[in-house]
Structure 1
């Protein structure tokens, strides 16, 4: 897709494929009861705009999709409190936006899928479940309408998926492929809710399947909001603040 005035390709082949895959994933989440939480610390109007689009059906009589913009000063805390396992967090932000990076790191422990829309230098691969990116260093891209075009297409394509109910069912093969967090206990990410009162107590953590208690005797000085790697009901490592989570 290009503009006749500037001959700039707005949505290239790779981004088109990314949009289609993201829309299908998002439709499946909505179909299972998810809420979409939207953050944009740098460009708050984008957060409002995305949320408004999704709660308005593309065609009159079609379903509205639950979407809420989170625009308080601490979006990490907001996402932590608001989201439930199975929800989706969408961020419109540059790759170096610290709060969004932190949300993306913690989202696996909250059990949420993530979508990251932005431009300029890309986030590291695996930083979000879906990355929709404009490969341009022009600082005006967020204000030129290209972001709006992307999330309008995402909104419309998500509704298109609902017109094909067969697409919304996730097969057992898809669930097992790649380590679905509900199907295995291999190195799951957890966020500490309540630290142990003494070295022999368990820690209450938040994981992709909800809150649970884990053995914390291998890790010293655990504190609330720490990110832990858990396996077999025990915390086996702490994730450092600067360490990327894949």
Structure 2
């Protein structure tokens, strides 16, 4: 395993960051084991996205698995991610908390059925912005070039392969109850693919396209995010919250 450099008087990663990193690696290993692709975005620091993808596709350790990973470096990574990401995939972003593209991808990921990992520094994104947040709290503008980010995704790569060495970690027990909180029809985020002209709209969900009733929210637009419960749209979610 890679040894983290000493920072100040402390060696290695902070305990909280180490725990977050281990949890992200386990999730990533589980997604890869079911056929996921890792989509990497870093709108302001594209070399990081390319570096992450190369780490997973071209492992430097003999015998390590090559894993599907792609760097998204288009001018509009949101539109490219919308076309590329499939249910079960993972989107890994390297960006600060204010990056508008990453914020938009992260809030749409639940509708796409994708897991999100966000690596960054400085001010943290709001709680719940991503499934896994791997963060350096140092606000120094030079942080992206110091190697801290590289250390994080190198460790993420190595820990993911450690998980592969323990197959029992890669499976999760399914729900056996007839009704449970996880499997019930809770409010969920979906993305409008066809607003239609009547009382229903076609939306994208992790389970595929579905038709939902939009009478309660009125006219919707393509790419709107809706909060849906029991087949009916309850709210239209704007970038700031609810419209």
Deviation at 1:24, TM superposition (A): 0.2
Give 3-state SS (helix, strand or coil) of 2:241's partner: coil
Contact persistence 1:10–1:146 (CA under 8 A)? no
Deviations 1:186-239 (A, max 9, x none): 101110000112x33x21100122211112222212110001011111212111
Which residue is equivalent to 1:209? 207
Deviations 1:28-82 (A, max 9, x none): 0000110000000010000000000011235323321100000001011111110
Deviation at 1:6, TM superposition (A): 5.7
Query: Per the alignment, do residues 5 and 205 of structure 1 end up closer, same or farther by CA in structure 2, a change over 3 Å counting?
Result: closer
Contact persistence 2:4–2:151 (CA under 8 A)? no
CA distance in 2, matches of 1:31, 1:21: 16
Query: Per the alignment, do residues 161 and 4 of structure 1 end up closer, same or farther by CA in structure 2, a change over 3 Å counting?
Result: closer
Which residue is equivalent to 2:222? 224
CA distance in 2, matches of 1:224, 1:40: 26
Which residue is equivalent to 1:136? 138
More displaced 10-residue stretch of structure 1: 220-229 or 233-242: 233-242
Query: Per the alignment, do residues 234 and 12 of structure 1 end up closer, same or farther by CA in structure 2, a change over 3 Å counting?
Result: same
Query: Per the alignment, do residues 179 and 54 of structure 1 end up closer, same or farther by CA in structure 2, a change over 3 Å counting?
Result: farther
Query: Per the alignment, do residues 173 and 19 of structure 1 end up closer, same or farther by CA in structure 2, a change over 3 Å counting?
Result: farther
User: Within the alignment, does 1:20 sit opposite 2:18 as a pair?
Assistant: no
CA distance in 2, matches of 1:240, 1:49: 32
Query: Per the alignment, do residues 179 and 119 of structure 1 end up closer, same or farther by CA in structure 2, a change over 3 Å counting?
Result: farther
Deviation at 1:174, TM superposition (A): 11
Give 3-state SS (helix, strand or coil) of 1:123's partner: coil
User: Within the alignment, does 1:113 sit opposite 2:111 as a pair?
Assistant: no
Which residue is equivalent to 2:186? 186
CA RMSD, 1 decimal: 2.2
Contact persistence 1:58–1:159 (CA under 8 A)? no
Contact persistence 2:6–2:12 (CA under 8 A)? no
Unaligned residue ranges in structure 1 (runs of 5+): none
Query: Per the alignment, do residues 139 and 9 of structure 1 end up closer, same or farther by CA in structure 2, a change over 3 Å counting?
Result: farther
Aligned length: 239
User: Within the alignment, does 1:42 sit opposite 2:40 as a pair?
Assistant: no
Among 138, 152, 165, the alignment partner of 1:150 is 152
Give 3-state SS (helix, strand or coil) of 1:170's partner: coil
Which residue is equivalent to 2:63? 61
Contact persistence 1:193–1:224 (CA under 8 A)? yes
CA distance in 1, matches of 2:95, 2:6: 28
User: Within the alignment, does 1:233 sit opposite 2:231 as a pair?
Assistant: yes
More displaced 10-residue stretch of structure 1: 70-79 or 229-238: 229-238
User: Within the alignment, does 1:87 sit opposite 2:89 as a pair?
Assistant: yes
Give 3-state SS (helix, strand or coil) of 2:25's partner: helix
Deviations 1:117-138 (A, max 9, x none): 0000011111100000001111
CA distance in 1, matches of 2:220, 2:155: 43
TM superposition score normalised by structure 1: 0.91
Residues 168-183 of structure 1: pairs in structure 2 closer than 5 A: 168-172=170-174, 180=182, 183=183
CA distance in 1, matches of 2:171, 2:210: 28
